[in-house]
Structure 1
Amino acid sequence: MRLLSISSGKVTSLFGSHHPNYDRVASAINKKSISNLHHLVPVEINRLGIAGDEQADLSVHGGLEKAIYVYPIEHYAFWNVLLTRETKKPVDLPLGAFGENFTIEGLVETEVFVGDQMQIGNLGFTVVKLREPCFKFNAKMGYKGAAKAMLQSGFSGWYLRVNQTGTLTADSDIKVIPGERVTSIADQNKVLFNRGNQTNLWD
């Protein structure tokens, strides 16, 4: 298991007809890889996440409990195929495409539990919860069904709390220290999907 990329972004405007009340909305979902396997640059990680990274709506992203958003590289192939089919354009998503801060390999939602500790390089983190998609994700992907596809697939990624600050570089090893292992990220996603009242997805 290893860290493939660290990504960061600033708040900008997203455009598109992906919500009935907005034709543009502020978001920092557009992240760019700043440290990766081809560009091994140390990045400062503080209690609020990556130094210089921004979030537009702190009620749903960011803060101490959602400081780092993690997404597995294993899901990229699924999204490339889906978006190519739905948008009728060739899609090859770049690292950070889901607004994630850490793109990782070797670990997915069924294997990660709330309360697990993750040691990445010399830094320590705690798994907090899944990522819940909204209409901004639809706008970012250019596909009005993207948020529902994330729920249906279970490919949500998850948030981390930062326990130990410092610098981190892509290609760092990841070690998981299990917690109580009661609720997995996949379990959380099933509960969210089965509610069936995700009115903010706007497909």
Structure 2
Amino acid sequence: MKIISTNLANPTTIIWNGKEETTGIYKKPTDRPIYIGKTDVKNDEVSDREHHGGFYKACYMFSAEQYSYWKNLYPNLDWNWGMFGENLTVSEFDETQVYLGDIYKVGKALVQVSQYREPCYKLGYKFGTQTVLKQFIEHGFGGTYLSILEEGYVNVNDTFVLVKRPEHRISVANLFRLIHSKDKDQDLLKIVVNSEAIPPKKQALLRSYIKD
């Protein structure tokens, strides 16, 4: 996997249900390294700290290979890297071969694959339709959040070097589908609720789906 774009956002004001809101989803490619810290990416807008940022959502990465699918669905949008609100656009990111809890060295940072993406209305606002949320879930490739074990700068062309992989594992793709499925695979659930890469509140929620 290799970073092909580093993306940051300035605060952007939108009108939602008649009220002004600020969002950081309008990310644009930068021409310099970015610093990924323990709770967020330096100089990046994180408007809603309740749902974004923090240790388990410090940085979001998305696959460059997924862009062609979405461009075909929405050819009239102004396409550029960062379209999905990701800080890192990454090539050769196969979500069926990257696993929850994986630890990678990339640039000067040490990162761990952590939370799944839960698309919200702001993605729908950006795409011009809330239908994209259903399409995003059905497509099944939502990228992944990263926890930052060691802070540092990352840049375009930096590659991800696998350092450690959990013994019991679930792929990023399967995790995304598990979260959004009605009939949840019990064996996969047990892997997720025992993963330190998932925050305790999410572990507790997912544990409630395990059948006795």
Structure 1 window deviating more from structure 2 (176-185 vs 159-168): it is: 176-185
Q: CA RMSD in A?
A: 1.9
* Unpaired stretches in structure 2, ≥5 consecutive residues: 184-212
**Is residue 81 from structure 1 mapped to residue 72 from structure 2 by the alignment?**
yes
SS of the residue corresponding to residue 89 of structure 2 reads: strand
**Is residue 44 from structure 1 mapped to residue 30 from structure 2 by the alignment?**
no
Of structures 1 and 2, the one with the larger relative CO (CA 8 A, separation 6+) is 1
Query: 2:157: which partner in 1?
Result: 171
**Is residue 133 from structure 1 mapped to residue 119 from structure 2 by the alignment?**
yes
**TM-score scaled by structure 1?**
0.82
Once residues 168 and 46 of structure 2 are traced to their aligned partners in structure 1, the CA distance between those partners, rounded to angstroms, is: 29
Q: 1:120 to 1:181 in 2, by over 3 A?
A: farther
* Alpha-carbon offset, residue 181 of structure 1: 4.5
* Contact 1:46 1:165 survives alignment (8 Å): yes
31, 37, 43: which one pairs with 2:27?
A: 31
Q: Deviations over 1:41-82 (max 9, x none)?
A: 232222223211121212221111100000000000001001
* Contact 2:64 2:93 survives alignment (8 Å): no
Query: 1:201: which partner in 2?
Result: none
**TM-score scaled by structure 2?**
0.79
167, 173, 176: which one pairs with 1:180?
A: 167
Query: Which structure is higher in strand share?
Result: 1
* Alpha-carbon offset, residue 7 of structure 1: 0.7
* Contact 1:124 1:163 survives alignment (8 Å): yes
Tell me the number of residue pairs that the alignment of Structure 1 and Structure 2 aligns.
182
* Alpha-carbon offset, residue 24 of structure 1: 4.7
Once residues 169 and 18 of structure 2 are traced to their aligned partners in structure 1, the CA distance between those partners, rounded to angstroms, is: 39
